[in-house]
Amino acid sequence: MSATVHKPEHDRRIRSFVRREGRLSPAQANALDEQWERFGIDPSAAPLDPNELFGREAPVVCEIGFGNGDNLLAACLREPERNFIGVEVHRPGVGRLLRLAAEAGVENLRVSTADAIDLLTQQIPPTSLAALWLYFPDPWHKKRHHKRRIVNTEFCDLLASRLVPGGEFQLATDWAEYAEWMRDCVNAHPAFVNQAAEGDFISTPSNRTETRFERRGLKREHQIFDLLYRRI
């Protein structure tokens, strides 16, 4: 894997994650070593050409913070006609996904370990994504941590600029108060139209596979909230 792009020292941006590397299992480390060339997106300040990245022209879906990749892998296999970009800073999860993707012979997947904000800002060209998925983002439930929540107006501005007109933005969470925060924030954004009849939550969409954090929420008897928006 290539060296990471160095951040200027004055970059004190509030991030939506804390890098807890955790231990890479030998299988995850091997997958990162051996499969990066095939699946990896190296950080760069230059925009990517999605057709060049995948070697074909097809609609591109991006999943932000895919965790251990259960949903993303299932999507790649279910929809071979679409291309998928996953972005996740937690490398054990990335290693796991690369191992399973290689074993399954997946060809329509590319993965970045950058901060999603950097990937979207620097490498994903404007109006290039057919859909964006954000499932079970860290809820940062303490009030003093709300500033770390990835969903805010600036984030919606960025996503809107990367989606094609008519593109979809799907979200899910098991944290009721964050669900309302997400709904209120995206409902208020002029580029997005809530696709639920009442401008509210939808029932679990058929294209979302149960994720690790969703299972964790369900075990704690949390309700699951799904949202679907279309970009104008």
Residues interacting with ligand SAM, by CB under 6 A?
16-17, 65-67, 87-90, 93, 115-117, 135-138, 150, 211-214
- DSSP conformation class of 69: -
Q: Which is nearer to ligand SAM, 56 or 141 (CB)?
A: 141
As measured in angstroms, the least distance from the Cβ of 84 to ligand SAM is 14
- Give me the catalytic one of 138, 157, 184, 226: 138
For 71, 90, 137, 180, 212, the CA distances from 149, given in Å and listed in that order, are 21, 17, 8, 13, 19
Structure tokens at 141: 């439930």
For 147, 148, 195, the CA distances from 138, given in Å and listed in that order, are 12, 9, 24
Active site residue 138: yes
In the chain, count of helices (H) and strands (E)?
8, 7
As measured in angstroms, the least distance from the Cβ of 71 to ligand SAM is 7
The answer to whether 133 touches 170, Cβ cutoff 8 Å, is yes
Q: Which is nearer to ligand SAM, 17 or 193 (CB)?
A: 17
Q: Which is nearer to ligand SAM, 149 or 189 (CB)?
A: 149
As measured in angstroms, the least distance from the Cβ of 210 to ligand SAM is 9
Q: Which is nearer to ligand SAM, 136 or 201 (CB)?
A: 136
Smallest CA-to-CA distance from 119 within 155, 147, 169 is with 155
Radius of gyration of the chain (CA): 17
Amino acid letter for position 25: S
- CB atoms inside a 10 Å sphere around CB 104: 12
As measured in angstroms, the least distance from the Cβ of 141 to ligand SAM is 11
Residues tagged active-site: 138
